[in-house]
Structure 1
Amino acid sequence: MSIFSDSLKHYIERNNIRVLPLARYCDIERSTVYKFITGKRLPHSLELVEKMAQFMRLSPLETEKLKNAWKIVSIGPDIYYSRKSVEDFICHFPCKPFSPLPVPSISVSDNVRQDCTVLSSQQYIDNYVHQIILAEANKKHGKIGLFLQPDYPFLFRLLSSLNPSGALIIDHIICLQPKPFFNEQHQAYNIQYLTELFPVYINGLNYNTWYYYNDIQALFHNPGTLPCMILTSDAAIMCTADYQTGFYYTNPECVTTLWTLFKNNQDKCSILFKPVSMSPENHLMLFDSIDDSTIEAEKHITGIQPEACLTPFITKDILLDRFNHDLPQSDYMITSLAAIFAKNKTRISHDNFRIYFTERGALHFAETGLIEEFPDEFYHPFTISQRIYLLKKIQMCCEKDFYRILREPLRQLPENLHLCVRENDCELTYNTNNGKTVFLIICENQLFEIFNDYLSNMDESNYYTPQEAIAILQRIIDKLI
């Protein structure tokens, strides 16, 4: 038996479905249906599952559950739930600033000793975390060290809304699972952690995440230990993994020793992300990151973003016409961008370029002439004739199935998400709360594999057919003519 056969048997018995009429309706043998019910066989396609659901008069929700059960058995639970975790991450990628959680009012004099304060509840821990983080953010040169998992909502909501008055550096060490591992809600731990981390990156802080591999459950959920550490330049908190019990230290020697331990552990870890600000003054590092010379045009690229990727169709003439020539070293930047755009055009000709985008994103480009892949300061809005030209190029790519327009559940893709997977790396481009555009490389291989698997095996029900996509774009073009 399997989750699919159990579900199928349940619906057949509940709705008093006779097997022979069901088999005839689906144009299969009655014995085949019995094999489905006993788990000895699996329907050969999702279309057959939908046909069975239609005959059994299932509701849309029940049909979706039956289809999901079929997918779980078809590809295996680990792959299925990994892909669902990526889809949830994409659909809920942060776009707006976060507001901090309310802070409990607790007298700081309770349980205080000379250099150590006992923190006997999460309210106490929240209160002291709030105090030391805000105090550090108000310093001219502040530093914060975090050795904990991104599963402490109060802290990460605080960091996601923090507005430092000086130069604040945050270094964070987390533990990742060396192989796929899921929580009780079937969410992949490593993807769930990204969901918690990214609001801090969106806030535009100088925030650096480091990682190492270990068994998270054994390491952080061992009773009687204090595995979590929060450090500032003059204070430290050590607490349990459930953030219910801990100690607050202010002794300078103790704080210095804990910082030494933190730095020693950091030296043994690897950097999780490499963010590069997309600004004119940072163009050398930016173009090196985007156009690594080791990445040949024959290498495949897959992207998902609100608007279609236009770079393969931006000719040298359009680039010269629209680029902001007032920027320093504009000639060099134009030459570099032209080479990158030409390489993407070659990828399309070799069928090595696939882009998933939304109707809303295409409409936004048609109305504004703006593309979110590059900051506005790099270029002027495209003219109406240029927009029509570029949209027609996208149409041609939709006809060849190189470009695909997303439908539910990805139709309302967050406008701040631009995810690109190459042969050997994965990149995200997003706008921070302070208006900066950041190009971020994901350095951990397992995350790359998970994102690559999702985009390489996109469910056909998630995007329109080429004919439907062409019709959608034509309606948008007609509004411009």
Structure 2
Amino acid sequence: MSEFSDLLSSYIDEKEIKVYSLLEYCNLDRSTMYKIINGKRNPTSMEVFQKIAEFLHLTPVEYRKFKEAYMISKLGKDLYYKRKYTEKYLMNFPRNFSGEPVLFLDDLKKMKDENDYKTDTDIQTPVNTSDCTVVSTHLELNHLLYYMISSETQKPSGKIALLLQPDYGFLLNMLSSLKPAGHLKIEHTFCMSKTNQMTENHEIYNLMYLNKILPLYFSSMDYHPYYFYEDIFAHYYSMNGLSCMILSSEYVITCNSDYTRGIFYRDPAVVSMLWSLYDSYQDKCQPLFLATEYLSMDKNDFNSPVYTETPNYVLQPEACMVPFIDRQLLSQAIIPEFPDRDNAIKKMTALLQVNQSKMENGLANVYFTKRGLADFAEKGRIKEIPDNFYRPLTVSERIRLLCRILPCCKNGNYRLLKKPLNQLSDNLHLCVNSTFGYMLFNNIHNRTTCLIINESSILTTFMDYLSSLDDSGLYSGEETAEFVQTLIDELKNQKKEQ
């Protein structure tokens, strides 16, 4: 028996379903239907599953439970829950900073509980602090952390290092909300799972950690995460003593993995020794991301893989239109102040021609939302390009680009998203293939940040999810082309009325 067959049998009994009537409705032979009921095989397709569900007259709650059981039986529990959590991660990606809700930045200041630490204007040396102080409660640890980190933010050139998992909410929230007086560099070394371990609540550790460190990028902190591979639970949560360290230029805290006990050090010799120990660990690790600006007013390397690498999958609010921009449009739309403008336009034109050919030949699958594309048609803004580099595209230019993506829609490489991803954040652009990938989003200063993903399991997770999307989660190429054509017709009518 399987989870699906158990549930199917119980519904047949509860609803007093005649098996003969069910197999007739589903157009299945008796042997096949009884194999499905007895858990010896699954429905051969989603269409067969839907026919069974229709005949059972399920309530919405029963249907969701029934479909989940079917998918678990079809995929296996681990793969099903990994894909569900990946979908949840993509759906909950923070929105932009132009008035839309942000999941974890809006209320960081409000999270400063007066019972945990004092205000920014009242930084005081903790009472009874010697060169080596025992920390025996979570509250005391939070207070000492606030003291040492707040002190570091007052320096012209501060540094903080973390050797712990990204599960210390108080610490990460505090770091995300900092406003350093000078420059503050934050280094963070933690353990990743090469096998995509999951929590008891079916959360993928690696994506969960990614979600927890994103606020530091959104806050535009000088943050550098490094990773090593290990069994996460065994390494951090199984009798490992004081396995975590938080270091500043003057102080160090070592503590256990649930952040309730530790030791606070202020002796310079001890601090120096622990920094050397941390550096020796970090030397054995790899950077999790390479963070860069997508386009810059300083210098742009158009030979970067971000511009040249061909993704297998692109997930973003509006269709991928950048490859269909031509030299004429670049010359008209890019602002005069763009660095080395003429040479940059020449390089971009050559690059875009290559990428246009790749898109036309179907080398990438582009998934996008109706809302995102309609927003482009209305405003003439391509969200992956920073607003300050170009003027909004005219109605004629919008029509031209939409017409150019139509063939890609008709051949099925450009497809609209259905529920739930049709509510994808306007602030997420994800491009991945099996060896390379990056995320684009706007930070709190409305600058477009590019995170190049260096860790393979994150790429594998995104690739697996996006490659598994099928007709149940995507509109067909014909339906997508019909929607694009509607936008083109509306813009043409708008142009006539002007």
TM normalised by structure 2 equals: 0.91
Report the residue type matching 1:263 in the other structure. D
Once residues 139 and 367 of structure 2 are traced to their aligned partners in structure 1, the CA distance between those partners, rounded to angstroms, is 45
Report the residue type matching 1:177 in the other structure. S
Aligned position for 2:349: 338
Aligned position for 2:284: 268
Match of 1:211 among 227, 245, 258: 227
Alignment of 1:71-470 (within 5 A): 71-95=71-95, 96=102, 97-100=105-108, 101-105=111-115, 112-223=128-239, 225-285=241-301, 287-292=303-308, 295=309, 301-470=312-481
Indicate how the Cα distance of structure 1 residues 280 and 287 shifts in structure 2: closer, same or farther if over 3 A, else same: farther
Once residues 51 and 382 of structure 1 are traced to their aligned partners in structure 2, the CA distance between those partners, rounded to angstroms, is 47
Q: Is 1:44–2:44 an aligned residue pair?
A: yes
Cα deviation, residue 406, structure 1: 1.0
Once residues 254 and 104 of structure 1 are traced to their aligned partners in structure 2, the CA distance between those partners, rounded to angstroms, is 31
Give the SS at the match of 1:150.
coil
More displaced 10-residue stretch of structure 1: 263-272 or 147-156: 147-156
Cα deviation, residue 339, structure 1: 2.1
Indicate how the Cα distance of structure 1 residues 223 and 369 shifts in structure 2: closer, same or farther if over 3 A, else same: same
Indicate how the Cα distance of structure 1 residues 317 and 224 shifts in structure 2: closer, same or farther if over 3 A, else same: closer
Once residues 164 and 8 of structure 2 are traced to their aligned partners in structure 1, the CA distance between those partners, rounded to angstroms, is 43
More displaced 10-residue stretch of structure 1: 9-18 or 401-410: 9-18
Report the residue type matching 1:123 in the other structure. L
More displaced 10-residue stretch of structure 1: 75-84 or 416-425: 75-84
Percent of aligned positions with the same letter in both sequences? 38
Once residues 159 and 462 of structure 1 are traced to their aligned partners in structure 2, the CA distance between those partners, rounded to angstroms, is 38
| Alpha carbons 1:103, 1:126 under 8 Å: kept | no
More displaced 10-residue stretch of structure 1: 373-382 or 125-134: 125-134
Once residues 121 and 69 of structure 1 are traced to their aligned partners in structure 2, the CA distance between those partners, rounded to angstroms, is 44
| 1:30-78 Cα deviation digits (max 9, x unpaired) | 3322211221111011121111111111122322322222222222333
Give the SS at the match of 2:421.
coil
Report the residue type matching 1:102 in the other structure. K
| Alpha carbons 2:306, 2:438 under 8 Å: kept | no
Aligned position for 1:11: 11
Cα deviation, residue 184, structure 1: 1.2
Report the residue type matching 2:141 in the other structure. I
Indicate how the Cα distance of structure 1 residues 111 and 224 shifts in structure 2: closer, same or farther if over 3 A, else same: farther
Once residues 159 and 88 of structure 1 are traced to their aligned partners in structure 2, the CA distance between those partners, rounded to angstroms, is 25
Give the SS at the match of 1:461.
coil
| Alpha carbons 1:86, 1:450 under 8 Å: kept | yes
| Alpha carbons 1:210, 1:270 under 8 Å: kept | yes
Cα deviation, residue 471, structure 1: 3.1
Cα deviation, residue 103, structure 1: 2.9
More displaced 10-residue stretch of structure 1: 273-282 or 378-387: 273-282
Match of 1:478 among 454, 477, 489: 489
Indicate how the Cα distance of structure 1 residues 343 and 166 shifts in structure 2: closer, same or farther if over 3 A, else same: same
RMSD, aligned CA: 2.0
Report the residue type matching 1:161 in the other structure. S
Cα deviation, residue 460, structure 1: 2.3
Once residues 144 and 16 of structure 1 are traced to their aligned partners in structure 2, the CA distance between those partners, rounded to angstroms, is 65
Indicate how the Cα distance of structure 1 residues 360 and 167 shifts in structure 2: closer, same or farther if over 3 A, else same: same
Indicate how the Cα distance of structure 1 residues 422 and 337 shifts in structure 2: closer, same or farther if over 3 A, else same: farther
Report the residue type matching 1:149 in the other structure. Q
Cα deviation, residue 327, structure 1: 1.8
Once residues 198 and 442 of structure 1 are traced to their aligned partners in structure 2, the CA distance between those partners, rounded to angstroms, is 13
Once residues 383 and 18 of structure 2 are traced to their aligned partners in structure 1, the CA distance between those partners, rounded to angstroms, is 55
Cα deviation, residue 178, structure 1: 2.0
Indicate how the Cα distance of structure 1 residues 106 and 375 shifts in structure 2: closer, same or farther if over 3 A, else same: closer
Once residues 174 and 98 of structure 1 are traced to their aligned partners in structure 2, the CA distance between those partners, rounded to angstroms, is 26
| Alpha carbons 1:304, 1:418 under 8 Å: kept | yes
Indicate how the Cα distance of structure 1 residues 132 and 94 shifts in structure 2: closer, same or farther if over 3 A, else same: farther
Once residues 201 and 346 of structure 1 are traced to their aligned partners in structure 2, the CA distance between those partners, rounded to angstroms, is 33
Give the SS at the match of 1:12.
helix
Instruction: Kindly tell me the number of residue pairs found equivalent between the two proteins.
Output: 476
Report the residue type matching 2:184 in the other structure. L
Once residues 176 and 127 of structure 2 are traced to their aligned partners in structure 1, the CA distance between those partners, rounded to angstroms, is 30
| Alpha carbons 2:330, 2:345 under 8 Å: kept | yes
Give the SS at the match of 2:190.
strand
Give the SS at the match of 2:484.
helix
More displaced 10-residue stretch of structure 1: 6-15 or 349-358: 6-15
Once residues 478 and 106 of structure 1 are traced to their aligned partners in structure 2, the CA distance between those partners, rounded to angstroms, is 59
Give the SS at the match of 1:462.
coil
Once residues 106 and 276 of structure 1 are traced to their aligned partners in structure 2, the CA distance between those partners, rounded to angstroms, is 35
Indicate how the Cα distance of structure 1 residues 244 and 450 shifts in structure 2: closer, same or farther if over 3 A, else same: same
More displaced 10-residue stretch of structure 1: 446-455 or 262-271: 446-455
Give the SS at the match of 1:356.
strand
| Alpha carbons 2:299, 2:339 under 8 Å: kept | no
Report the residue type matching 1:188 in the other structure. I
Cα deviation, residue 257, structure 1: 1.3
| 1:156-205 Cα deviation digits (max 9, x unpaired) | 22222222221110000010112121111111111111111112111111
| Alpha carbons 1:373, 1:429 under 8 Å: kept | yes
Indicate how the Cα distance of structure 1 residues 427 and 13 shifts in structure 2: closer, same or farther if over 3 A, else same: same
Unaligned runs of 5+ in 1: none
Indicate how the Cα distance of structure 1 residues 354 and 109 shifts in structure 2: closer, same or farther if over 3 A, else same: closer
